[in-house]
Amino acid sequence: MGIKENLDHIKNTFKDHDCLLVAVSKTKPIGAIQEAYEAGIRDFGENKVQELAEKAPQLPKDIRWHMIGHLQRNKVKYIASFVHLIHGVDSLRLLNQINKEGEKINRVIPCLLQMHIAMEESKFGLDENEVEEIIWGEAIRKMDFIQVRGLMGMATNTENKKTIQREFRSLKVLFEKIKSTELPKQVKMEILSMGMSGDYAVALEEGSNMVRIGSAIFGAGNYEQ
């Protein structure tokens, strides 16, 4: 199936949900991104700073670029001026660096805090205590150039639906818990980014409002040289 057909299929499973689709275009060529753009997609996700910074100038200006991968502090400067949303903020130090880069160019940069919900050790992210320390700590109140807009998480890579369900549910519970409290002006709990090609149906059932889908749109191929 082609990109357009894949997108039609995915959008069809979305129709009962208020959810934004981010098309994950990492490793995919410009032509494939252009095809998805022509099919109506405006939100694209990349996981490497260099690839994102190279692709963005070659594509239409109204694309909203999402940085979904692990972000190193020394690379924030390359995307600060144009990135639409940074999904993978997993430390106060990184948030602080994003704030600094935002200040240099007088731009408030939208971010999500990445939570560690999977069983795998390898996945990045904060635990519940760490996220609460960031949100209710003193440091964030002095940051005028970041806006935390919600949470992001990745479930365990497994066929076991119960495990995925439990992990997404725990993230949704935390999201609602934080949302119900009084928050500093730097934090708004609006976006819950969870779900990828293999598990987005479960994520939608569990209340995701932003999914990041790559291979189900573009195929599993890797076009990198």
Ligand X SMILES: *Cc1c(COP(=O)(O)O)cnc(C)c1O
Contact 165, 123 (CB under 8 A): no
**102 or 214: CB nearest ligand X:** 214
**24 or 148: CB nearest ligand X:** 24
Smallest gap from residue 10 Cβ to ligand X (A): 10
Closest to 42 in 3D by CA, of 54, 25, 18? 25
Q: Which residues here bind ligand X, judged by CB under 6 A?
A: 24, 26, 47, 68-69, 154, 196-198, 212-216
Smallest gap from residue 51 Cβ to ligand X (A): 12
| Token pair belonging to 58 | 């070659």
Q: Which residues contact 210 (CB under 8 A, 6 or more apart)?
A: 19, 20, 22, 150, 191, 192, 193, 194
**51 or 128: CB nearest ligand X:** 51
Smallest gap from residue 195 Cβ to ligand X (A): 8
**3 or 140: CB nearest ligand X:** 3
Smallest gap from residue 114 Cβ to ligand X (A): 9
**25 or 186: CB nearest ligand X:** 25
Smallest gap from residue 108 Cβ to ligand X (A): 23
| Phi and psi, residue 62, nearest 5° | -90, 10
Closest to 24 in 3D by CA, of 8, 3, 38, 5? 3
Smallest gap from residue 221 Cβ to ligand X (A): 11
**140 or 151: CB nearest ligand X:** 151
**Residue of closest CB approach to ligand X:** 214
